[in-house]
């Protein structure tokens, strides 16, 4: 049942959690990558954690793998607690508190998978320690504790008290002697960390050395929950046998409490965290599920973020609906369409994707590279590597492209894509066999140019004039004019939408009709001056808008009604 709950939580309810962790790492098979991880404390736990996370590429498979890891953690705690309490009839329910606590902790997207993996490895080491002969145990720990510190890092502190308790249970070592052994074990851990800090890891701060390197994505941060989880693992192993679950109502009460904790700590926490709106929308952008991006942003206007606005505009453009529907969603200025890069990984990913589809290869490369360098734990990201390899290949820089595709070739799920790229390096004509690559190659600018980010509409217009098939570039140019309130330039560019004709238009997008209606009104025109391509619905809505603005500009209908989702409301609010 717990496996099913974890599987549904991650695989069906929140696959974006899986995607977030998978796309910001680049696990590679091969001795070089393993040795790189074994070169610092906690490296083995991180390596195994990344190995597990790579399966998150396929949400259902990743959810099944992660649910199995959580259940394995609960079962391991149950077996150890049975061993220490010397009872075989202990219920498994209390042991499942541990994986539940992990699920609650990992609602924080920066909590890495390596941490629960390292706890499992520490408990497995304790399970193996129980088979060591009594005469050898003290000497064995002199080797085991420093070795576990190097392989697992901070979670060796989970192993030490459990090993001391096993000494007491298995060989009747007194409680006082077991406590002394535990204290000596902690001292040995401290000495090991200090030796490492003075030799192998000279450039690492003590916080990383003592409390875990790569257990938490943000550097120089050790969350309190990390200590709570470690302490809970120890207490559950040592004290599960003391839980009064023999009473009739004890199990149902604990089960209800766990369900409530799951609902409040996971389901509600995921839903209330606005950051997960960004993560979910980015997950759909990465999969190019444009309809789902639009649907989500339409249904969740209260979760609008800087990134989601960029993403929904990109999705609308990819579906050919940008000029028709963009003002149905919150807009700010031109950064709503082309976001500015900030020192944060998500700030420009949607813009990088937009440049990719527009054919602005170099601009897309720059933003993907900058986003790559903003990953909080300094990891490489498979998503950015994949895009950069594509773009360098499209640019004809095959040697540079190979530097990004070679690591992808050593992965499980990106290797086929990397081999496809390698075939194109050997025979560039194969690039044109891929419809998307062929389109970008046709759209791209072949000459060296410089452009001003304040006048991107001119650049987009040039892209369209260079290749009239690039309708997305024309839409971006015209919509940037609208967002900037530059209606004079909009009117100059508008004839391009109909091949130069200025009358008799049909199927003019709604935003364009609203802008033209607004310009005619501002110039003193009336409804009789509107061109024939302005639909009766737009005319009627505009009359209603003007009436309400003259009566009460802050009325409910203009703030939250359908008129609030028009270009008229946007341009009036901007002014």
Residue matched to tokens 């610092």? 40
Nearest Cα neighbor of 480 from 467, 504, 505, 463 is 463
Q: What is the pLDDT of residue 170?
A: 76
Give backbone dihedrals phi and psi of 111, rounded to 5 degrees, phi first.
-75, 120
pLDDT tens digits for range 213-249: 789 988 778 899 999 999 999 999 998 877 777 667 7
Is the model's pLDDT at 339 over the cut of 90?
no
Q: What is the pLDDT of residue 246?
A: 64
| Three-state DSSP class for residue 566 | coil
The token duo for 267 is 């389901």
Ordered DSSP codes for 168-208? HHHH---HHHHHHHHHHHHHHHHHHHHHHHHTTTTTS-HHH
Residue 569: is it exposed, middle or buried by C-beta count within 10 angstroms (0-12/13-18/19+)?
Answer: buried
Q: What is the pLDDT of residue 528?
A: 67
How far is CA 41 from its chain centroid?
Answer: 26
Range in 119-128, 139-148, 185-194, 550-559 the model is least confident about: 550-559
d(CA 330, CA 565): 8
Bridge partners of residue 216, in order along the sequence: 111
User: pLDDT-based confidence at 325, cuts 50/70/90?
Assistant: very high
| Mean pLDDT along residues 424-448 | 91
* Domain positions in the chain: 2-272, 275-299+306-443, 507-575
What is the chain's mean pLDDT, rounded? Answer: 90
Where would I find the beta strands (DSSP E) of 31-81?
A: none
The conformation of residue 341, written as its DSSP 8-state character, comes to: P
In sequence order, what are the residues at sequence separation of 6 or more whose Cβ sits closer than 8 angstroms to the Cβ of residue 530? 516, 517, 520, 539
Is the model's pLDDT at 452 over the cut of 80?
no
Q: What is the pLDDT of residue 527?
A: 66
pLDDT tens digits for range 46-101: 999 999 999 999 999 999 999 999 999 999 999 999 998 888 888 888 899 999 99
The conformation of residue 216, written as its DSSP 8-state character, comes to: B
| Mean pLDDT along residues 407-423 | 96
pLDDT tens digits for range 505-518: 457 899 999 999 99
d(CA 530, CA 314): 31
Cα of first residue to Cα of last residue in the chain, in angstroms, is: 57
Q: What is the pLDDT of residue 504?
A: 40
Is the model's pLDDT at 500 over the cut of 50?
no
- Which percentage of the chain shows pLDDT scores above 90? 61
Q: What is the pLDDT of residue 449?
A: 75
Reported as type and span, the H/E element at residue 527 is: none
């Amino acid at each position: 049942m717990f496996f099913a709950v974890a599987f549904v939580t991650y695989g069906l309810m929140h696959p974006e959690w899986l995607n977030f962790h998978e796309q910001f790492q680049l696990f590679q098979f091969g001795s070089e990558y393993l040795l790189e991880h074994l070169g610092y404390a906690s490296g083995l736990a991180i390596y195994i954690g990344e190995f597990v996370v790579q399966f998150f590429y396929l949400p259902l498979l990743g959810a099944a793998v992660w649910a199995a890891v959580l259940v394995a953690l609960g079962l391991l705690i149950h077996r150890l607690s049975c061993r220490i309490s010397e009872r075989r009839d202990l219920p498994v329910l209390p042991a499942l508190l541990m994986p539940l606590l992990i699920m609650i902790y990992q609602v924080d997207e920066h909590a890495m998978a390596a941490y629960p993996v390292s706890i499992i490895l520490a408990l497995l080491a304790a399970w193996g320690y129980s088979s060591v002969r009594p005469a050898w145990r003290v000497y064995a720990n002199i080797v085991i504790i420093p070795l576990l510190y190097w392989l697992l890092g901070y979670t060796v502190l989970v192993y030490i008290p459990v090993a001391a308790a096993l000494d007491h249970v298995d060989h009747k070592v007194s409680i006082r002697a077991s406590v002394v052994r535990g204290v000596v074990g902690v001292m040995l851990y401290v000495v090991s960390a200090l030796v490492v800090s003075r030799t192998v890891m000279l450039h690492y701060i003590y916080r990383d050395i003592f409390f875990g390197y790569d257990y938490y994505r943000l550097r120089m941060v050790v969350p309190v929950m990390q200590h709570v989880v470690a302490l809970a693992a120890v207490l559950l192993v040592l004290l599960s046998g003391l839980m009064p679950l023999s009473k009739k109502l004890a199990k149902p009460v604990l089960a209800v409490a766990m369900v409530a904790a799951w609902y409040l700590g996971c389901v509600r926490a995921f839903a209330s965290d606005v950051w997960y709106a960004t993560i979910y929308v980015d997950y759909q952008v990465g999969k190019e599920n444009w309809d789902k991006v639009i649907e989500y942003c339409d249904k969740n206007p209260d979760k609008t973020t800087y990134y989601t606005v960029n993403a929904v505009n990109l999705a609308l453009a990819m579906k050919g609906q940008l000029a028709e529907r963009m003002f149905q969603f919150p807009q700010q200025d031109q950064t709503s369409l082309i976001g500015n890069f900030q020192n944060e990984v998500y700030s420009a990913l949607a813009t990088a994707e937009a440049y990719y589809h527009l054919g602005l290869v170099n601009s897309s490369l720059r933003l993907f590279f900058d986003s790559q360098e903003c990953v909080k734990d300094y990891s490489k990201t498979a998503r950015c590597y994949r895009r950069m390899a594509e773009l360098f290949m499209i640019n004809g820089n095959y040697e540079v492209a190979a530097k990004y595709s070679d690591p992808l070739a050593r992965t499980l799920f990106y290797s086929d894509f990397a081999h496809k790229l390698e075939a194109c390096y050997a025979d560039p004509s194969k690039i044109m066999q891929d419809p998307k690559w062929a389109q970008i190659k046709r759209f791209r600018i072949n000459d060296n140019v410089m452009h001003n980010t304040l006048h991107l509409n001119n650049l987009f217009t040039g892209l369209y004039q260079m290749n009239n098939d690039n309708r997305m570039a024309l839409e971006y140019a015209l919509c940037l004019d609208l967002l900037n309130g530059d209606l004079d330039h909009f009117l100059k560019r508008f004839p391009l939408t109909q091949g130069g004709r200025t009358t008799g238009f049909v199927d003019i997008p709604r935003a364009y009709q609203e802008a033209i209606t607004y310009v005619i009104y501002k110039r003193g025109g009336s409804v009789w001056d509107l061109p024939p391509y302005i639909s009766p619905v737009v005319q009627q809505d505009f009359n209603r808008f003007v009436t309400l603005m003259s009566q009460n500009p802050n009325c409910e209908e203009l703030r939250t009604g359908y008129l609030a989702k028009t270009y008229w409301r946007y341009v009036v609010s901007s002014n």
